[in-house]
Amino acid sequence: MEEIEYPDWTIDRRCVLQKLENIAKDYIHYFTYQARYYQPMVVIWSRDELLKRLDALHLLNCEIDRLFFERISQNHPHLSQCVHAAECLWYTNPEISIQESDVSLDWMMFSLFGLIDDEIRDRCLEIVRAAKLNQPRTLLAELQGQQYRLITDWDNKQIKLMTAVPLNVLRNPFMRETTPQNQYAPTYLELVTRASCDSLPMNWDILVDWGALGLLEELEALSTDISLPSAEYLKYCLKTSIP
């Protein structure tokens, strides 16, 4: 393997590392607290900016020197997590760059946070490849005896696999315990789960403020997904949300 020349951190080291740490922190934020803030359309900017800067520093598509990794881990924990995730993704298919891979870095972040089983990724990829999608949409799959909804979206001008959502509500790591405070404030991944199970409350159209939740764009995309049992109802919710 060709030896990687890492940047000279003595030149503007603090500035470079802190900018990357801030971007990495913003990106990781989407995967915390059961990924309650995650939305494919929202996470794009921080992921793309992160990958662009890591690539400029020759920290993508390669094995990271352990001493270098230890150095950034000490003072830049979010950056080190993202570098580790990118390296893990590269390890799975080293002959293909992360930018050209069928799997988004999002998948590896979900896996590192213990929210999905990384072992099912190959089967998920087979399903996504067979679908030959022209536009991102969700795909239904049965994996290890359990139904999943596969999330795809644009990443580096390609439709990539983002994550896999188990549809068994009791075994779904993205589903929060229902409370009066969150009953009508679903996260994106909770919405996908419920729409896949045909169990959306029939009064969501008047009780959920989709604009305040920042889900209008995602709601529009899901409402056109004919594979979702509740797609028509989501379309109705969308119409009632727009003046």
Q: How many CB atoms lie within 10 A of CB 216?
A: 15
Task: Identify whether the C-beta of residue 171 lies closer than 8 Å to the C-beta of residue 141.
Answer: no
pLDDT in tens, the chain (243 residues): 454 454 555 556 668 888 999 999 999 999 999 999 999 999 999 999 999 999 988 899 999 999 889 989 998 999 999 999 999 999 988 999 999 999 999 999 999 999 998 889 999 999 999 999 999 999 999 988 899 999 999 998 999 999 999 998 888 999 999 898 888 999 999 999 999 987 788 888 889 999 999 999 999 999 999 889 999 999 999 988 876
Three-class secondary structure of residue 80 per DSSP? helix
pTM: 0.89
Cα 23 to Cα 53, 99, 103, distances in angstroms = 10, 18, 21
* pLDDT value of position 13: 64
Amino acid at 50: L
* pLDDT value of position 178: 86
Query: What contacts 226, CB < 8 A, 6 or more positions away?
Result: none
